[in-house]
Amino acid sequence: MSGELSPIDKAKFVAAKQAAEFVESGMRVGLGTGSTAAWLVRCLGEKVREDGLRFKGVPTSTRTAELARDVGLEVISLDEAKWLDMTIDGADEFDEDLNLIKGGGGALLQEKIVATASDQMIVIADAAKEVQALGAFPLPLEIIPFGWQTTQALIEEVLVSMDVMGRQTTLRMNGARPYITDEANHILDLHLSRIGNPRQLSMVLNQIPGVVENGLFIDICDKLVVGHSDGRVEVRDINEGTISESQLAFVEDDNLFSDI
Protein backbone atom coordinates (compact mmCIF):
# COMPACT_ATOMS: atom_id res chain seq x y z
CA MET A 1 0.00 0.00 0.00
CA SER A 2 1.19 3.56 -0.66
CA GLY A 3 1.02 4.35 3.05
CA GLU A 4 3.81 1.83 3.61
CA LEU A 5 6.18 3.48 1.15
CA SER A 6 9.14 5.56 2.28
CA PRO A 7 9.13 9.27 1.35
CA ILE A 8 11.74 8.59 -1.32
CA ASP A 9 9.68 5.79 -2.85
CA LYS A 10 6.60 8.02 -2.87
CA ALA A 11 8.60 10.65 -4.75
CA LYS A 12 9.85 8.08 -7.25
CA PHE A 13 6.34 6.72 -7.74
CA VAL A 14 4.69 10.06 -8.51
CA ALA A 15 7.48 10.97 -10.94
CA ALA A 16 7.05 7.64 -12.72
CA LYS A 17 3.27 7.93 -12.79
CA GLN A 18 3.46 11.40 -14.33
CA ALA A 19 6.03 10.30 -16.92
CA ALA A 20 3.88 7.32 -17.93
CA GLU A 21 1.33 9.84 -19.25
CA PHE A 22 3.75 10.82 -22.03
CA VAL A 23 3.53 7.33 -23.56
CA GLU A 24 0.92 6.94 -26.30
CA SER A 25 -0.32 3.90 -28.18
CA GLY A 26 1.81 3.01 -31.18
CA MET A 27 5.01 4.40 -29.70
CA ARG A 28 8.36 2.69 -29.37
CA VAL A 29 9.71 3.51 -25.91
CA GLY A 30 13.05 2.89 -24.23
CA LEU A 31 12.63 1.56 -20.69
CA GLY A 32 15.33 2.46 -18.21
CA THR A 33 16.96 0.49 -15.43
CA GLY A 34 16.94 1.10 -11.68
CA SER A 35 14.47 1.59 -8.86
CA THR A 36 12.72 4.66 -10.32
CA ALA A 37 12.51 3.10 -13.78
CA ALA A 38 10.97 0.01 -12.20
CA TRP A 39 8.12 2.20 -10.91
CA LEU A 40 7.65 3.46 -14.46
CA VAL A 41 7.40 -0.06 -15.85
CA ARG A 42 4.76 -0.92 -13.23
CA CYS A 43 2.80 2.24 -14.05
CA LEU A 44 2.90 1.42 -17.76
CA GLY A 45 1.77 -2.13 -17.03
CA GLU A 46 -1.24 -0.71 -15.21
CA LYS A 47 -2.07 1.53 -18.20
CA VAL A 48 -1.83 -1.48 -20.52
CA ARG A 49 -4.19 -3.53 -18.34
CA GLU A 50 -6.71 -0.83 -17.42
CA ASP A 51 -6.56 1.75 -20.23
CA GLY A 52 -5.74 -0.41 -23.25
CA LEU A 53 -2.39 1.31 -23.91
CA ARG A 54 -0.42 -0.51 -26.62
CA PHE A 55 3.21 0.27 -27.32
CA LYS A 56 6.53 -1.52 -27.84
CA GLY A 57 9.16 -1.27 -25.10
CA VAL A 58 12.92 -1.54 -25.54
CA PRO A 59 14.50 -2.45 -22.16
CA THR A 60 17.99 -1.29 -21.19
CA SER A 61 18.81 -4.39 -19.12
CA THR A 62 17.78 -7.99 -18.66
CA ARG A 63 16.11 -7.22 -15.33
CA THR A 64 14.02 -4.43 -16.87
CA ALA A 65 13.03 -6.81 -19.66
CA GLU A 66 11.93 -9.43 -17.12
CA LEU A 67 9.85 -6.91 -15.14
CA ALA A 68 8.31 -5.50 -18.33
CA ARG A 69 7.18 -8.94 -19.48
CA ASP A 70 5.89 -9.73 -15.98
CA VAL A 71 3.56 -6.70 -16.03
CA GLY A 72 2.32 -7.38 -19.56
CA LEU A 73 4.39 -5.05 -21.74
CA GLU A 74 5.39 -5.97 -25.29
CA VAL A 75 9.19 -6.11 -25.38
CA ILE A 76 11.34 -5.81 -28.50
CA SER A 77 15.06 -5.23 -29.13
CA LEU A 78 16.59 -1.95 -30.27
CA ASP A 79 17.55 -3.61 -33.56
CA GLU A 80 13.88 -4.45 -34.11
CA ALA A 81 12.73 -0.95 -33.15
CA LYS A 82 15.43 0.83 -35.20
CA TRP A 83 14.52 4.20 -33.64
CA LEU A 84 12.48 5.21 -30.60
CA ASP A 85 9.92 7.92 -29.94
CA MET A 86 11.27 8.40 -26.43
CA THR A 87 13.27 6.83 -23.64
CA ILE A 88 12.21 7.22 -20.01
CA ASP A 89 14.87 6.47 -17.42
CA GLY A 90 16.05 7.45 -13.96
CA ALA A 91 19.24 9.21 -12.87
CA ASP A 92 21.63 9.03 -9.94
CA GLU A 93 22.31 12.78 -10.10
CA PHE A 94 21.21 15.75 -12.21
CA ASP A 95 22.23 19.39 -12.33
CA GLU A 96 20.39 22.55 -13.40
CA ASP A 97 21.42 22.01 -17.04
CA LEU A 98 19.88 18.49 -16.95
CA ASN A 99 23.28 16.83 -17.23
CA LEU A 100 23.24 13.46 -15.48
CA ILE A 101 25.25 10.78 -13.77
CA LYS A 102 23.81 7.34 -14.50
CA GLY A 103 24.99 3.79 -14.05
CA GLY A 104 24.32 3.07 -10.39
CA GLY A 105 22.24 0.14 -11.59
CA GLY A 106 25.05 -1.15 -13.77
CA ALA A 107 23.38 -0.58 -17.16
CA LEU A 108 24.92 2.70 -18.32
CA LEU A 109 26.12 1.38 -21.70
CA GLN A 110 22.77 0.08 -22.88
CA GLU A 111 21.01 3.06 -21.28
CA LYS A 112 23.14 5.55 -23.24
CA ILE A 113 22.76 3.65 -26.52
CA VAL A 114 18.97 3.50 -26.15
CA ALA A 115 18.66 7.13 -25.00
CA THR A 116 20.63 8.46 -27.95
CA ALA A 117 18.54 6.37 -30.36
CA SER A 118 15.41 8.29 -29.27
CA ASP A 119 13.65 11.45 -30.37
CA GLN A 120 13.69 12.54 -26.75
CA MET A 121 14.90 11.38 -23.36
CA ILE A 122 12.68 11.90 -20.33
CA VAL A 123 14.36 11.50 -16.94
CA ILE A 124 12.40 10.67 -13.80
CA ALA A 125 13.89 11.28 -10.36
CA ASP A 126 13.14 12.21 -6.79
CA ALA A 127 14.07 15.72 -5.71
CA ALA A 128 17.03 14.49 -3.64
CA LYS A 129 18.94 13.66 -6.85
CA GLU A 130 19.43 17.33 -7.75
CA VAL A 131 22.95 18.72 -7.15
CA GLN A 132 24.73 21.99 -7.84
CA ALA A 133 27.70 20.11 -9.32
CA LEU A 134 27.84 16.50 -10.44
CA GLY A 135 30.20 14.10 -8.74
CA ALA A 136 28.98 13.36 -5.22
CA PHE A 137 27.59 10.11 -6.62
CA PRO A 138 30.45 7.90 -7.86
CA LEU A 139 30.82 8.11 -11.65
CA PRO A 140 30.57 4.63 -13.21
CA LEU A 141 32.74 3.58 -16.14
CA GLU A 142 32.10 0.39 -18.07
CA ILE A 143 35.45 -1.19 -18.94
CA ILE A 144 36.48 -4.43 -20.61
CA PRO A 145 37.82 -7.14 -18.27
CA PHE A 146 41.07 -7.63 -20.22
CA GLY A 147 43.81 -5.61 -18.56
CA TRP A 148 41.35 -3.80 -16.33
CA GLN A 149 44.01 -2.88 -13.78
CA THR A 150 46.03 -1.18 -16.50
CA THR A 151 42.90 0.68 -17.58
CA GLN A 152 42.32 1.70 -13.98
CA ALA A 153 45.88 3.05 -13.71
CA LEU A 154 45.47 5.05 -16.93
CA ILE A 155 42.21 6.51 -15.64
CA GLU A 156 43.79 7.56 -12.35
CA GLU A 157 46.68 9.16 -14.24
CA VAL A 158 44.29 11.15 -16.43
CA LEU A 159 42.25 12.32 -13.43
CA VAL A 160 45.29 14.20 -12.08
CA SER A 161 44.83 16.81 -14.83
CA MET A 162 41.02 16.96 -14.63
CA ASP A 163 38.91 19.45 -12.67
CA VAL A 164 37.76 17.02 -9.97
CA MET A 165 38.11 16.97 -6.18
CA GLY A 166 38.79 13.25 -5.70
CA ARG A 167 40.62 10.58 -7.71
CA GLN A 168 39.88 7.29 -5.95
CA THR A 169 38.65 4.49 -8.21
CA THR A 170 37.18 1.15 -7.14
CA LEU A 171 36.15 -1.96 -9.04
CA ARG A 172 32.46 -2.63 -8.48
CA MET A 173 31.94 -6.00 -6.82
CA ASN A 174 29.09 -8.48 -6.62
CA GLY A 175 29.91 -10.28 -3.40
CA ALA A 176 33.40 -11.70 -3.70
CA ARG A 177 33.52 -11.36 -7.49
CA PRO A 178 33.62 -8.39 -9.86
CA TYR A 179 30.24 -7.12 -11.00
CA ILE A 180 29.51 -8.22 -14.57
CA THR A 181 27.35 -6.08 -16.86
CA ASP A 182 24.90 -7.40 -19.45
CA GLU A 183 27.68 -6.91 -22.00
CA ALA A 184 30.09 -9.01 -19.87
CA ASN A 185 32.18 -6.02 -18.81
CA HIS A 186 33.36 -4.63 -15.46
CA ILE A 187 32.47 -1.31 -13.86
CA LEU A 188 34.89 1.09 -12.22
CA ASP A 189 33.36 3.63 -9.87
CA LEU A 190 35.17 6.97 -9.77
CA HIS A 191 34.86 8.80 -6.44
CA LEU A 192 35.36 12.37 -7.65
CA SER A 193 33.28 14.38 -5.10
CA ARG A 194 32.87 17.23 -7.60
CA ILE A 195 33.20 17.40 -11.39
CA GLY A 196 34.09 20.88 -12.58
CA ASN A 197 33.81 20.23 -16.33
CA PRO A 198 31.62 17.18 -17.05
CA ARG A 199 31.77 17.60 -20.84
CA GLN A 200 35.57 17.62 -20.92
CA LEU A 201 35.82 14.70 -18.49
CA SER A 202 33.40 12.61 -20.55
CA MET A 203 35.39 13.15 -23.75
CA VAL A 204 38.75 12.41 -22.12
CA LEU A 205 37.62 9.26 -20.33
CA ASN A 206 36.20 7.75 -23.51
CA GLN A 207 39.59 8.12 -25.21
CA ILE A 208 41.28 5.76 -22.74
CA PRO A 209 41.86 2.24 -24.15
CA GLY A 210 39.72 -0.25 -22.25
CA VAL A 211 36.97 2.24 -21.41
CA VAL A 212 33.75 1.31 -23.21
CA GLU A 213 31.54 4.16 -21.95
CA ASN A 214 31.12 6.51 -19.01
CA GLY A 215 28.06 7.40 -16.95
CA LEU A 216 28.00 11.12 -17.78
CA PHE A 217 24.92 11.92 -19.88
CA ILE A 218 25.61 15.36 -21.37
CA ASP A 219 23.03 17.13 -23.57
CA ILE A 220 20.92 13.95 -23.79
CA CYS A 221 18.06 14.69 -21.39
CA ASP A 222 15.22 16.73 -22.92
CA LYS A 223 12.68 16.65 -20.10
CA LEU A 224 13.01 16.06 -16.36
CA VAL A 225 10.16 14.86 -14.14
CA VAL A 226 10.92 15.45 -10.46
CA GLY A 227 8.80 13.79 -7.80
CA HIS A 228 8.30 14.92 -4.19
CA SER A 229 7.15 12.85 -1.24
CA ASP A 230 4.00 14.95 -0.80
CA GLY A 231 2.80 14.07 -4.31
CA ARG A 232 4.00 17.20 -6.07
CA VAL A 233 5.54 16.67 -9.50
CA GLU A 234 7.66 19.20 -11.38
CA VAL A 235 8.28 18.87 -15.13
CA ARG A 236 11.22 20.78 -16.58
CA ASP A 237 11.49 21.01 -20.37
CA ILE A 238 14.96 22.20 -21.37
CA ASN A 239 14.01 22.68 -25.03
CA GLU A 240 10.92 24.77 -24.31
CA GLY A 241 12.47 26.45 -21.29
CA THR A 242 9.37 25.73 -19.21
CA ILE A 243 8.68 24.42 -15.72
CA SER A 244 5.25 23.12 -14.71
CA GLU A 245 3.99 21.65 -11.46
CA SER A 246 1.08 19.35 -10.60
CA GLN A 247 -0.17 17.34 -7.64
CA LEU A 248 -0.79 13.60 -7.73
CA ALA A 249 -2.92 11.82 -5.14
CA PHE A 250 -1.97 8.42 -3.74
CA VAL A 251 -4.46 5.60 -4.14
CA GLU A 252 -4.34 3.23 -1.19
CA ASP A 253 -5.55 0.17 -3.10
CA ASP A 254 -3.33 0.73 -6.15
CA ASN A 255 -2.26 -2.60 -7.68
CA LEU A 256 1.26 -1.22 -8.12
CA PHE A 257 1.92 -1.73 -4.43
CA SER A 258 0.88 -5.36 -4.23
CA ASP A 259 4.47 -6.63 -4.43
CA ILE A 260 6.05 -4.00 -2.17
How many of the other CB atoms lie within 10 Å of CB of 176? Answer: 5
The one catalytic residue in 111, 183, 240, 245 is: 111
Q: Please indicate if the annotation marks 129 as binding a ligand.
A: yes
Say if residue 34 carries a ligand binding annotation. Answer: yes
Determine if residue 95 is labeled as part of a ligand binding site. no
| 254 labeled binding residue | no
The annotation status of 60 as a binding-site residue, yes or no, is: no
240 catalytic per annotation: no
Residues belonging to the chain: 260
Residue 55 phi/psi, 5-degree rounding, is: -150, 170
Q: Is 117 annotated as a binding residue?
A: no
Q: Is 150 annotated as a binding residue?
A: no
DSSP track, 51-90? H----EEEESSHHHHHHHHHTT-EE--HHHH-SBSEEEE-
Please check if 36 is assigned to a binding site.
yes
Identify any residues that bridge with 237 across adjacent strands, giving them in sequence order.
223, 242
Strands 28-31 and 86-89: parallel
Cα separation, 182 vs 224, whole angstroms:
26
What residue numbers does the annotated binding site for substrate cover? 33-36, 89-92, 102-105, 129
Active site residues: 111
What residue numbers does the annotated binding site cover? 33-36, 89-92, 102-105, 129
